[in-house]
Amino acid sequence: MPDHTGTRSAAAAGPVILNCGGRALVLDRPRIMGVLNITPDSFSDGGAFVTPERAIDQAREMVAGGADIIDVGGESTRPGADAISPQEEMDRVLPVLEALLAEFPVPVSIDTSKPEVMREAAGRGAGMINDIMALRREGAMQAAADSGLPVCLMHMQGEPRTMQKNPRYDDVVGEVMAFLGERVAACTAAGISRRRLVLDPGFGFGKTLTHNYQLLRELGRFVAMGLPVLTGISRKSMVGRVIDKPVDQRLYGSVAAAVLAAREGARILRVHDVAPTVDAVRIVQATLEPETLVS
């Protein structure tokens, strides 16, 4: 059984609080990040929310279901997806970002690797930068530093269009940890405080099925790096291949993965099905932290 004493001692020292553009995200328990893809070719929802009106309706449902933060993305990162220009990405996400901030009290994260999008979104009130490239694109590090926002650094082997073509590691956990450690060092050297950083092992991004489940099984090693950990497993092929279900039938498998990640110490769970995940994670919290129960 995993040892959760480290998670408890970290909680005893006080929770991490991310200042998300003036809106606090208190990581005293696993927090739920609702996924909002403003893309016509998303793997998970097939472009169901590509219009601003439908996207806002979906966000409304997620917030009602208990989402603590909404993650808005305008470019698909599925294997083989086509790249789009910064302007096209901004045209998709900025109207939705502004509408969400006007209606809901929760922070809104921007899922992008483009410095132009980071700057514009930050200027319009975005609360976090969620970058699958871990600020490796030219200009991204400076844009993130200037924004003052929390940043999620994700590991990916290769790039989205080719990442699933025979990914290889000698030690997947060790190599992903080393990469994230290097990116943290690069961020601090650029003036981005560790207090602003979140780590994501990058499930499904340049990993085989075996790699993904090894990362999930040993997620506590990432938690032990001392920074909040975000996981994004919801509806991915690592779920579908085990339960043999298409994308729209992966709810139970996705919730199970979220429960395992929460139990291992993940503090942000990026999911499509908010309300069921919220309920499941509350049971995890009651189990690991019984002092939070009200008799």
Task: Give the integer Cα–Cα distance in Å for 243 and 109.
Answer: 30
Of all residues in the chain, what percent carry a pLDDT higher than 90? 80
Lowest mean pLDDT of 4-13, 68-77, 115-124, 247-256, name the range.
4-13
Burial of residue 131, with CB atoms counted within 10 A of its CB: 0-12 exposed, 13-18 middle, 19 or more buried: buried
Q: Describe the strand order of the beta sheet including 69-73 as a list of residue ranges.
A: 197-200, 151-154, 128-131, 108-111, 69-73, 31-37, 268-271, 230-231
Residue with tokens 């020292």: 13
pLDDT of residue 6: 43
Task: Establish whether 114 is a catalytic residue.
Answer: no
> Which domain covers residue 55, as residue numbers?
5-278
In a domain, residue 291? The reply is: no
Residues 6+ away with beta carbon under 8 Å from 221: 173, 177
In a domain, residue 289? The reply is: no
CA 68 from centre of chain? 12
Task: Establish whether 270 is a catalytic residue.
Answer: yes
Report how many domains make up the chain.
Answer: 1
In a domain, residue 284? The reply is: no
CB 75 within 8 A of CB 89: yes
pLDDT at 41 over 70: no
**Helices 52-64, 86-103: crossing angle, 10 deg rounding:** 40
Catalytic residue among 31, 119, 236, 267: 236
Catalytic residue among 31, 92, 263, 270: 270
Statement: the pTM of the whole predicted model exceeds 0.85: yes
In a domain, residue 143? The reply is: yes
Three-state DSSP class for 264? coil
In a domain, residue 68? The reply is: yes
In a domain, residue 287? The reply is: no
Residue with tokens 């290889």: 168
> For position 71, which CATH number holds?
3.20.20.20
| Vertex 284: Cα angle to 280 and 289 (nearest 5) | 145
Task: Give the integer Cα–Cα distance in Å for 154 and 200.
Answer: 4
CB neighbourhood size of 60 (10 A): 13
In a domain, residue 290? The reply is: no
* Amino acid identity for residue 154 in this structure: M
pLDDT tens for each residue of 64-77: 999 999 999 999 87
* Amino acid identity for residue 165 in this structure: K
Instruction: State the DSSP H helix or E strand holding residue 33, giving kind and residue range, or none if neither.
Output: strand 31-37
CA distance to 17, 31, 262, 286, per residue, from 289 (Å) = 19, 15, 12, 5
In a domain, residue 295? The reply is: no
Instruction: State the DSSP H helix or E strand holding residue 175, giving kind and residue range, or none if neither.
Output: helix 172-189
Task: Give the integer Cα–Cα distance in Å for 181 and 199.
Answer: 9
pLDDT tens for each residue of 83-95: 899 999 999 999 9
**Helices 251-263, 209-217: crossing angle, 10 deg rounding:** 40
pLDDT at 289 over 60: yes
